[in-house]
Structure 1
Amino acid sequence: MSKKSPWLVAYGPDPDAETRVVTFPHAGGSASYFRTWAEHLGPGFALQSVQYPGRENRLAEPLVPSMKQLAQGVAEALAGGPADGRDTVFFGHSMGAAVAYETLRLLESWGSSPVTRLCVSGRELRASPEPAAPVVRDDEQLMASMTALGGTRSAVLDDPDLRDMVLGIVRNDYLLIDTYRREPEAAPLRVEVIALTGDHDPQVDLARIDEWASVTTGAYARHVFPGGHFYLADHVPRLLPIVTGGRTEG
């Protein structure tokens, strides 16, 4: 039996399958965003979704204010337990793409890593070495951004209690990702990297998406889907064979 960790939520009938897909949610997102992916993965795949502190089953825990602390927590959870040696694929969307990348950097720096493919979705590399200042957004600006990207149901923002909780999480995550910058001298990864995006994503410049190829000595590919920032919600059956190398059912 796999070692349980608050950082990882398992979905699907076989949490100890020989290959695991680990998903990293977007800013303001939680593990359950990827719950339905388990319905499309075939036998032999385990779906684990990263649960950041301060949401769902970790609601009572303080939010994590820095990328370094967040990636460290996920990497430690993934490195421990008997499931450590399983073939593993990372998929991170938006902020989650950066968290997945930084988590994998840590795992590779610690030694042998089971991760063979890194899928980065809905995010440019943004490797500028210039220091980043936090962008302070008020509630109206946060709600306008969330509505424009389409990742939050309007019913959530209409409920005052839910809105306050969600805005606190989103404000934390936006500040975290606004101030994050990839180290320009970071050692290259050794895995296959796949960049994915929607063709009308306001946060991704298609002319820059291939900069992700520079982070690895392994193979690189990109895939562009119809849609905006949350294109993946409409393309799960087409997306998952790319993520898993073609070995899915459903």
Structure 2
Amino acid sequence: MKLIVLPFAGGNKYSYSFFRKTMPTVEIINLEYPGRGARMKEPLLDDIDEIVDDIHLLIKNNVTNEEPFSIYGHSMGGLIGYLVSIKMQKDNEIKPKCLIVSGRYSPTINNSESTYDLPSETFWQSVFDLEGTPVEIANEEKLRSLFEPILRNDFKVIETYSPRNLLLLETPIEVLYGQKESIDQLSFFHKWNEVSSKPVNFHEFEGGHFFILNKQKEVSELIQNVLERESK
């Protein structure tokens, strides 16, 4: 089964490079949004519907009607994965066998944060607090100036998203989260069970928002088990 992988805010198709080592038998399809990585020359998109349309097209280009696939996304990638899955269902297209999200609370919750328009120093402190920034970026001002517009754009996409009255997803969902997320977010993760008519399972990991970076083996094993289950 193919696994479509969607990056978190500021990420690109190389953000989950460890998956190729930890899940060598899975066909990983790493996609990325415009304006970063191999798509650096394309303009950034700050409209979530345009991003969903873009990723939807990329998935259709990578998966035939006969091929089973699942979608995984962390944080922003989880939200985009959900909205793309809804779009495919609404358009009567082949649906993912499973949606796997990590570090993203339910899309039924209104965002209460606004960091994308903060002054640079304060903005970067908010980014560092998530504990997912590569050391080379954190320690190099020139690299931060390169990535800041991308991060601000993606944070804007996430923070200005408003819940919508959408169809119930007819796809099972696996929700992964770090136990050190804020108290509010921990309760919001469990509201994913409100958006699907299929089973929704929850998995708590030690760590904060970017627990996936420190729990690569455990996260990969869980995902691989889910893919094997959905392949039967």
Same fold (TM over 0.5): yes
Aligned partner of residue 54 in structure 1, secondary structure: coil
Aligned mate of 2:32, from 28, 31, 51: 51
Name the % identity: 21
Match of 2:42 in 1: 61
The residue identity in structure 1 corresponding to 2:34 is P
Query: For the residues of structure 2 that align with 1:193 and 1:82, how far apart are their CA atoms?
Result: 20
Q: For residue 125 of structure 1, report the CA deviation from its aligned partner.
A: 1.2
Moved over 6 A (4+): 129-134
Pair 1:171–1:203, CA change in 2 (3 A): farther
Ranges in structure 1 where 5+ consecutive residues have no aligned partner: 1-18
Query: For the residues of structure 1 that align with 2:95 and 2:159, how far apart are their CA atoms?
Result: 30
Query: For the residues of structure 1 that align with 2:176 and 2:77, how far apart are their CA atoms?
Result: 13
Aligned residues: 228
CA RMSD of aligned residues (A): 2.3
CA contact (8 A) 1:74 1:103 kept: yes
Q: For residue 109 of structure 1, report the CA deviation from its aligned partner.
A: 1.2
In the TM superposition, 1:196-211 aligns within 5 A as 196-202=176-182, 205-211=185-191
Q: Structure 1 residue 190 and structure 2 residue 170: aligned?
A: yes
Pair 1:75–1:230, CA change in 2 (3 A): same
Q: Structure 1 residue 97 and structure 2 residue 78: aligned?
A: yes
Q: Structure 1 residue 75 and structure 2 residue 56: aligned?
A: yes
Question: For each residue in 1:30-73, what CA deviation from the matched residue of structure 2 results, as whole angstroms up to 9, or x when unmatched?
Answer: 11011110112243x21011211111111111111111000111
The residue identity in structure 1 corresponding to 2:170 is R
Aligned mate of 1:174, from 155, 158, 161: 155
Pair 1:117–1:63, CA change in 2 (3 A): same
Query: For the residues of structure 2 that align with 1:48 and 1:125, how far apart are their CA atoms?
Result: 24
In the TM superposition, 1:1-250 aligns within 5 A as 19-43=1-25, 45-80=26-61, 83-128=64-109, 136-183=117-164, 185-202=165-182, 205-244=185-224, 245=226, 247=228
Pair 1:223–1:81, CA change in 2 (3 A): closer
Pair 1:160–1:52, CA change in 2 (3 A): same
Q: For residue 186 of structure 1, report the CA deviation from its aligned partner.
A: 0.4
Pair 1:130–1:94, CA change in 2 (3 A): closer
Ranges in structure 2 where 5+ consecutive residues have no aligned partner: none
CA contact (8 A) 1:122 1:196 kept: yes
The residue identity in structure 2 corresponding to 1:207 is S
CA contact (8 A) 1:200 1:227 kept: yes
191-200 vs 235-244, greater mean Cα deviation:
235-244
Pair 1:247–1:41, CA change in 2 (3 A): farther
Give the TM-score, by structure 2 length: 0.90
75-84 vs 25-34, greater mean Cα deviation:
75-84
Give the TM-score, by structure 1 length: 0.83
